[in-house]
Structure formats: C-alpha cells, structure tokens
Structure 1
C-alpha cells in the first residue's frame, strides 16, 4: 500500500503538503541483493530538519521502513536510528510486487512538540504526540522480487479453451501472470493438433494468436496509463507486464509511453527473431509437404 495524502493533527514533514518550509525527508533502497535464502536491502535515508534530527539522536523518534507484499500477504516493519543501514528478509516472505514506505515515527509520548521549520500557520502552537504517530514520511518505493522470471516473450501467453458455445473467436484476459488467450473449443483442439507438427507450425500459430493478443495488450496498457496511475500499479507486478517491460527497455521503449502507430510493429518484433521468420516457417512447411509428395 502506498502512502496517500491525508490530514494530520500536527505538522508532518512529507513531499506532498506544505506543512514545512525547507526541510525534506527521503528514503530509498539503493541496492538489493540475494544471500542464500535471504534478501538484502541497503537503505539510505536523507533528513534535513534539525528538530527531527535531534529527536532521533535522543531516541524519542526513529526511522521506520515498512514492506508490504500483497502476493505473500506480509507486512514487515523495521526501525533504526541511523540513516544508512541494511535489512535482511527471508526470500519466502516477499514475492513479485512489494511496496516500501519510509516513516519517522514517535517512539514515545512527546509533549509540547514544535518544529521551527513548520509552516507559519503552526507558529506558537504546541502539539501532543503519541507513541506511533507519524512525524514524517517519504515517497513510496515499489520493488519487484522475481524468483522465477519468464525467459522469453512467448512464455507470457497461455491459450485456454472457452467452453461457452457463444464465445467470441478470440478473447484476451490480463488479470493473471500470463496473458490468457481464450478461443472456442473447436479451435483449441485444432491448435493442439497442429502444435504436434513442430516448431515451424508453432511459429505460424504465434502469428495467428499471440500477435493480435500482444497488440491488444499493449494498447490496453497505454489506455490504462493515460487515465489511471493506480490502474497501472495493479498490473505492473504481473509476470507478463514485467517481462514485456524489460524486453521493451532493451529495445529503447517505455511500456507505458508507446506511440500508437508503432505498437503493431513493436509487437511483431517482440515475437519474431526476424521480419521473415513466420514466412520462413511457412516456406519450410510447404517445401516439406512437397518433398513428402515426391
């Protein structure tokens, strides 16, 4: 869960409100590594506010890092008084998308809290701070834990059988880790039969099924990105999205900022090793058949 703007009964140092004049607080995971069965995170915190720095030095408040993983249903909290430190977490506790939030929280009750850098509206006002109250927060950071990343573009697709007799000739679902391509039962049986004829037939099937699905997917991503950032966050942790994002980055593209006119060409290039690959496969099928006839 990402921290959102909300009202507090006392001034809170953060990047989205004007509670403070000059100070800032920023948290960041600057390095992520693996060591045996553990994930290691190097944390760097930057704080520019003398009053809060003094409270940390006297251990009345502390830096707090919260890891939240929807995939494993885990919420992990770590506190520290130093701005640079390392956190170790068992691999089994985190998977796929993880939201990381950075706070400064009160470790004890603080009476008559004031801050010289607070907005003039707070001048002369003293606040009662309770243990656990937020005194500062940073922008959230999203990380991705990929235990078994998909190796190629083709692996992000799954062809399924639509049992409804009124099902369309093809349908696309993006809600799971693979892009699901639904086709009528009769078509599904034929695809299974053709796949047995080897790699050349499979490449033709890729052009028939995967290509339109990928084009539709990339158009959907652009639509989501343009109208709703939170909608994009919901799919950004899925395996198919992460795989496409990395492949497109290598090609010099941002998955959420594609030119509509280029999506068809980009999709074709993602699926084929060369522009002639499907035609070469078709030639191989024809020539092999002619050879059998001879």
Structure 2
C-alpha cells in the first residue's frame, strides 16, 4: 500500500498535511531473515499527546500493513505497544514488498478530538469507526530475496522467448530492459529446440551454459564499462537478485563497478559452475553410447 497525499473525513496526523499541527509519528522497522521467516522489529515514535492517550487507553493501536504483489499477500499487524515484532513465512513473500505504518482506531470512537487540530477544525469532534486512520507514516519497500538462497533465484530471473517479425531468424540475443526478468530471445528454430530440450533434466546444465552464461557475461561487461548507470537498473527485480549474489562474492556495485576477475569467471560463479556439470553429462552420455 503506497502512502499518498489524500483527504480523510477527519484530521489525520501525517507528514504531508497540517491537519494536526503538533507532534510527529515516525516508525523504524528492522527486517531480518532466516530460511523460514522474515522478522520485522518495529519501533514507533509518537509525540502527539492526545493520540498517545487514545493508544494507552486501547482505543487506537499501532499498525503495520504488509503487501506483496507477487504473492498477493496482504496483512495488518497490530499492537498497543510502541515496540513489537512479528514474523512472516518466507514463502509468503517474493519480490517487492510494501510496508506502511499507521495508527488505526481499535474501536469506534465517539467525539474524537485533538487539542492540536488545525484552526480550521478547532472545537470540532468526529465520530470515527474501528479501522479508521488516526496517523500515518511514510512507508518503505524491500525486496524479498534471501541471501542464503540466492542461487536458486538465478534461473527464475530469466525467461526465454521467440523473436518476432523481421528478427525471427536471429539466433540469439538478450534484452535487459524488462523490470522483472532478463529476456533471452531465440529464433523460431532455436526456440523449438530449446522447448524440447528444456523438458529433459539432463540437459538443463548444458542449456545454462549455452543461454544463461553468455547473457550474464554481457551484463557484467556492461557493468565494467565506464558509462554503466547503476540507477538505471537498481529497481529492476532481476538486477536485485544478481546484486545480492555479487555481494556474497564480495562485489558491491554501490561502491564500485570494478570487477576483481574477468566477466566470464564471475558469471560462472553467479550461476554455480554449470559448465563442469554440463561437460560431465556429455561425457557420461558419450561413454554410454560407445558401450
């Protein structure tokens, strides 16, 4: 849920309006991850006395709204305490996750008021219902990609398709311009070969060498170039997966685009050395054929 400047039927404490002229509502959220869970440690700072009294009287509560568009997970976590933690199973989150902090009415409140209402609301009271927004803080986003599992995410950021129109006979090319996946494009003939081979588990590593490896080498060569624009890719989901993998190899693209080894060496490390596995498969198949 993205925080937007909007009008509420009653005054709300926020950074984007002067409905309530004194006090602030700020949130600090620390996110840690294990293989099984994401843990959210939240600290709320509320300096408006009247809203704080509503919370202390359990008429309003601190709330965190979590939304993941990839998995369609939407959930609100609430507490009357200014610090609380909650967990979400790892398989419930994938890709971009939006987090929005609120203070919400925990019950219907008759004659809701605040001594720091803007002068336009001076002396006014409001009837608000359970779930109405009392205060809102700027949200944040993060990408649900666990560093310990970075290798299994690599194949998922690629998709293979066919060239269309006048390019349909081009054997192979790579499109890095899509936000979710790197698109590998094949000619009609090559795509049909790929479609058949992809159904055979024994040829999976060979396909990785033939399709994924040159794509990654091309990307890494771009990263090494002087005109590489980090900001162009930093919000792309596929780029975040690769960036996480590079960090485990000691390469931080936010600090430098210099690579400690050649693009071909690093590309193999990113996808787990498919060449050795592919050569072994070819050797074993050749040996069996000779027998």
Q: Output the TM-score relative to the length of structure 2.
A: 0.66
CA distance in 2, matches of 1:166, 1:50: 68
Corresponding position: 1:41 with 2:40: yes
CA distance in 1, matches of 2:25, 2:265: 47
Q: Deviations over 1:88-125 (max 9, x none)?
A: 22333223322111111112222222222232332222
8 A contact 2:161–2:183 mirrored in 1: no
SS in 1 for 2:150: coil
**Would the alpha carbon gap of residues 95 and 160 (structure 1) be closer, same or farther in structure 2, given more than 3 Å must change?**
closer
CA distance in 2, matches of 1:74, 1:120: 40
Superposition pairs for residues 148-187 of structure 1, below 5 Å?
149-151=149-151, 158=158, 160=160, 162=162, 164=164, 166-167=166-167, 169=170, 170-172=173-175, 174-175=177-178, 177-185=180-188
1:109 counterpart residue number: 108
8 A contact 1:63–1:105 mirrored in 2: yes
- TM-superposed CA distance for 1:72, in Å, is 1.6
SS in 2 for 1:108: coil
8 A contact 1:159–1:183 mirrored in 2: no
1:50 counterpart residue number: 49
Corresponding position: 1:16 with 2:19: no
**Would the alpha carbon gap of residues 159 and 95 (structure 1) be closer, same or farther in structure 2, given more than 3 Å must change?**
closer
**Would the alpha carbon gap of residues 158 and 58 (structure 1) be closer, same or farther in structure 2, given more than 3 Å must change?**
closer
- TM-superposed CA distance for 1:155, in Å, is 5.7
- TM-superposed CA distance for 1:85, in Å, is 1.1
**Would the alpha carbon gap of residues 10 and 248 (structure 1) be closer, same or farther in structure 2, given more than 3 Å must change?**
farther
- TM-superposed CA distance for 1:137, in Å, is 0.8
How many residues matched? 250
- TM-superposed CA distance for 1:40, in Å, is 2.6
**Would the alpha carbon gap of residues 160 and 143 (structure 1) be closer, same or farther in structure 2, given more than 3 Å must change?**
closer
CA distance in 2, matches of 1:63, 1:20: 18
SS in 1 for 2:63: strand
Q: Output the TM-score relative to the length of structure 1.
A: 0.66
1:120 counterpart residue number: 119
**Would the alpha carbon gap of residues 179 and 163 (structure 1) be closer, same or farther in structure 2, given more than 3 Å must change?**
closer
- TM-superposed CA distance for 1:25, in Å, is 0.9
**Would the alpha carbon gap of residues 157 and 76 (structure 1) be closer, same or farther in structure 2, given more than 3 Å must change?**
closer
**Would the alpha carbon gap of residues 10 and 165 (structure 1) be closer, same or farther in structure 2, given more than 3 Å must change?**
closer
SS in 2 for 1:166: helix
**CA RMSD for the aligned pairs?**
4.3
**Which is further off, 152-161 or 111-120?**
152-161
SS in 2 for 1:18: coil
